[in-house]
């Protein structure tokens, strides 16, 4: 490993730093304060160079620490994006990331956001696999023609999709993703977190730690396969009667309620092998990918939905009552299918038939009820299908016809509500 420092003019800082970030090299820029008023460019200049290094003017140093293998790439980027300056290279014997404890090249691949995420995940004691592909990347096989995967920039190697999955995710199947019970320690954790966050919101502070790192993890996952289709189960959960809540509560109370609701739903998603796709007002949209390490994606979503109803009943509502706020209930919609990863702006998103279906079937559910589309229902084992009943043919609320079959698309409702 090496540390590369470049003293360059201020006008070249943006070009150099942007170019380095394109190849995922974290950049640190240091401003060295001058001692007084600026003077002409020929005064106090460093001898033998055209680089102005006045002790009276501010100077700027770009610093990066990288593996030896990309030394020349970094040097060329700095040279091609700066007109003048000096580059100095130092050997680095050891790098330690304080938050995670990882060292050397693995530590180098963690940017500041990853560090926050991994530290937060550790403190949350979540069952979700927050590890990233890092040191093992160098041992992966070369690209096979026509195979889908991910190009690792640091190692300059193609990572096949199935190999990447086995590197990133180290979970044992579904044993970790069971329905959470009211006796589970997760309820105590949730109540503690909600009380703390309400106190912070009252002080005009925010602590959306879980929301931040879970949303970022989803973006990292989806960014691996841009413009590709993946099999996912989509879950949509929103608060029943949010319009009434808006008339009952002032803006501060409503904001605090929605924030803690969204955070708790996010944590529950993470504990059932899911990713938070987005937040839309009083709703959370999540997806559960089809990965063998995660088990049955549709059953993960159903377990997650049941756990959501449980945490609302045993954690959120008791806390809301203690703060003089109304209790809430939710509707949950679930369906499965292929969805395309697209970039609408800077963040990745999913578009596809299952997301469209979920948004259509969600309003049909009763409070605390789960409604599920036929594609997701077909993936469930008998132990799960018996929890649902098919919509009545006489129910005029639903007449959506599948674009392929031309038949009314079957949907199902959970038999029991929390």
Of the candidate CATH numbers 3.20.130.10, 3.30.70.1230, 3.30.200.20, 3.30.2320.80, the domain formed by 172-414 belongs to 3.30.70.1230
What's the whole-number average pLDDT of the chain? Answer: 75
Taking Cα atoms as reference points, which of 350, 390, 353 lies closest to residue 371?
390
Whether the Cβ atoms of residue 56 and residue 44 lie closer than 8 Å to each other = yes
Q: What's the confidence (pLDDT) of residue 256?
A: 85
Query: Per residue, what are the HEC states of 344-363?
Result: CCCCEEEEEHHHHHHHHHHH
Selection from 91-95, 233-237, 406-410 with the highest mean pLDDT: 233-237
Q: What's the confidence (pLDDT) of residue 290?
A: 85
Tokens of 234: 């989509």
Q: What's the confidence (pLDDT) of residue 46?
A: 47
Domains of the chain: which residue ranges? Answer: 2-91, 132-169, 172-414
Q: What's the confidence (pLDDT) of residue 176?
A: 55
Query: Identical fold at 2-91 and 172-414?
Result: yes
Of the candidate CATH numbers 3.30.70.120, 3.40.50.1950, 3.40.50.450, 1.10.260.40, the domain formed by 2-91 belongs to 3.30.70.120
Instruction: Dump pLDDT digits (tens) for 107-122.
Output: 665 554 455 445 544 5
The pTM for the full model equals 0.61
Selection from 146-155, 180-189, 264-273, 361-370 with the highest mean pLDDT: 361-370
How far is it between the farthest Cα atoms of the chain?
Answer: 90
Cα separation, 308 vs 332, in Å, equals 9
* pLDDT reading at 381 higher than 50: yes
Q: What's the confidence (pLDDT) of residue 303?
A: 93
Query: Average pLDDT, stretch 202-229?
Result: 68
The crossing angle, in degrees rounded to 10, of helices 297-311 and 251-270 is 140
Q: What's the confidence (pLDDT) of residue 274?
A: 86
**Lowest mean per-residue pLDDT among 33-42, 182-191, 253-262, 277-286:** 33-42
Q: Concatenated DSSP letters for 229-262?
A: EEEEEEEEEEETTHHHHHHHS-HHHHHHHHHHHH
Taking Cα atoms as reference points, which of 264, 231, 266 lies closest to residue 355?
231
Selection from 66-70, 214-218, 336-340 with the highest mean pLDDT: 336-340
Query: Average pLDDT, stretch 317-321?
Result: 92
State phi, psi for 196 to the nearest 5 degrees. -65, -45
For tokens 């007084």, the residue is 36
Query: Average pLDDT, stretch 137-163?
Result: 45
Task: Give the Å distances, CA to CA, from 205 to 66, 112, 222, 267.
Answer: 36, 22, 30, 20
Instruction: Dump pLDDT digits (tens) for 324-369.
Output: 899 999 999 999 999 998 987 777 889 988 899 999 999 999 999 9
Half-sphere exposure of 84 (CA within 13 A, CB side): 10
Taking Cα atoms as reference points, which of 173, 218, 182 lies closest to residue 306?
182
């Amino acid at each position: 490993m090496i540390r590369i420092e470049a003293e360059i003019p201020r006008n070249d800082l943006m070009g150099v730093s942007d170019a380095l970030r394109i190849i995922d090299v974290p950049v640190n820029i240091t401003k060295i304060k001058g001692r007084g008023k600026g003077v002409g460019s020929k005064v106090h200049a460093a001898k033998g160079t055209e680089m102005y290094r006045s002790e009276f003017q501010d100077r700027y140093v770009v610093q990066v620490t990288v593996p030896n293998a990309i030394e020349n790439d970094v040097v060329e980027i700095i040279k091609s994006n700066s007109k003048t300056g000096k580059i100095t290279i130092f050997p680095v014997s050891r790098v330690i990331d304080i938050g995670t404890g990882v060292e050397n090249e693995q530590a180098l691949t963690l940017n500041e956001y990853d560090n926050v995420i991994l530290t937060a995940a550790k403190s949350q004691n979540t069952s979700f696999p927050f590890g990233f592909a890092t040191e093992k990347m160098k041992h992966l096989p070369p690209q096979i023609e026509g195979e889908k995967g991910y190009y690792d920039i640091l190692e300059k190697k193609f990572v096949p999709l199935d190999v990447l999955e086995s590197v990133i995710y180290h979970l044992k199947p579904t044993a970790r993703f069971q329905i959470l019970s009211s006796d589970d320690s997760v309820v105590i954790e949730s109540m503690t977190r909600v009380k703390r966050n309400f106190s912070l919101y009252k002080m005009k502070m925010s602590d959306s730690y879980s929301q931040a790192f879970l949303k970022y993890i989803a973006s990292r996952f989806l960014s691996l396969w841009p413009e590709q289709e993946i099999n996912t189960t989509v879950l949509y959960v929103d608060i029943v009667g949010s319009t009434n809540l808006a008339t009952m509560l002032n803006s501060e109370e409503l904001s605090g309620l929605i924030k803690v609701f969204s955070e708790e739903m996010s944590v529950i998603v993470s504990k059932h092998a899911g990713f938070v796709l987005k937040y839309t007002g009083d709703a959370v949209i999540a997806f559960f990918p089809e990965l063998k390490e995660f088990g049955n994606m549709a059953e993960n979503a159903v377990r997650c939905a049941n756990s959501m109803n449980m945490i609302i009943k045993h954690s959120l509502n008791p806390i809301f009552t203690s703060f003089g706020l109304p209790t809430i209930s939710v509707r949950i919609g679930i369906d499965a299918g292929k969805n395309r990863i697209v970039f609408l702006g800077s963040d990745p998103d999913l578009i596809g038939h299952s997301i469209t279906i979920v948004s259509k079937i969600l309003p049909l559910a009763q409070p605390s009820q789960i409604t599920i589309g036929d594609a997701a229902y077909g993936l469930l084992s008998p132990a799960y299908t018996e929890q649902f009943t098919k919509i009545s043919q006489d129910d005029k609320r639903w007449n959506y016809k599948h674009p392929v079959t031309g038949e009314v698309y079957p949907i199902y409702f959970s038999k029991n509500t929390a």
